[in-house]
Amino acid sequence: MSEASPRKIRVVINRGGGSFGEDKAAQLEALFEARGIEAKILAVEPGELDRHCGEAAEAAGVDALVAAGGDGTISTAAGAVAGTDMPLGILPLGTLNHFARDAGIPLDLEAAVEAIAAGRTRAVDVAEVNGRVFINNSAVGMYPKLVRDREAQQRHFGRGKKLAMLIAAGRSLWRFSHHRLTLRIAGREAPVETPLLFVGNNRYETGLLALGKREAIDRGELCIYAPLARSALSFVWTSVRAVFGRPDEQADFLTLDGVESVEIDSPRTRLMVATDGEAQPMETPLRYKVRPGALKLIVAEQGGEREESPLSRT
Beta-bridge mates of residue 199: 138, 224
C-alpha angle 76/302/57, rounded to 5°? 25
Helix (H, G, I), strand (E, B) or coil at 265: strand
What local confidence, expressed as pLDDT, does residue 311 receive?
53
Q: According to the model, what pLDDT value does residue 306 have?
A: 42
CB burial readout 79-113, b (16+ within 10 A) else e: bbbbeeebbbbbbbbbbebbbbbbbebbeebeebb
Give start and end residues of each alpha helix (H) in 192-270. Answer: 232-243, 249-252
pLDDT for 15 equals: 81
CATH of 133-292, one of 1.10.150.120, 2.60.40.1930, 3.30.413.10, 2.60.200.40: 2.60.200.40
Q: Which helix (H) or strand (E) is 259 found in, with range?
A: strand 253-259
* Domain boundaries along the sequence of the chain: 7-120+299-312, 133-292
Are 63 and 37 within 8 A, CB to CB? no
Amino acid at 126: V
pTM recorded for the entire structure: 0.85
Q: Which CATH class is domain 7-120+299-312?
A: alpha beta
Q: What is the number of other CB atoms lying within 10 angstroms of the CB of residue 60?
A: 5
pLDDT at site 151: 76
- Work out the number of other CB atoms within 10 angstroms of the CB of residue 297: 26
Q: What is the mean pLDDT of each run of 10 residues along the chain (314 residues)?
A: 56 74 80 93 90 91 93 96 95 90 94 93 97 96 80 80 76 77 95 93 73 88 87 66 57 85 97 93 97 96 50 46
Q: Where are the alpha helices (DSSP H) in 193-262?
A: 232-243, 249-252
Q: At 249, is the secondary structure helix, strand, or coil?
A: helix
pLDDT at 232 (0 to 100): 64
Q: Is 296 helix (H, G, I), strand (E, B) or coil?
A: strand
What confidence score (pLDDT) does residue 225 get? 92
Q: What is the pLDDT of residue 238?
A: 66
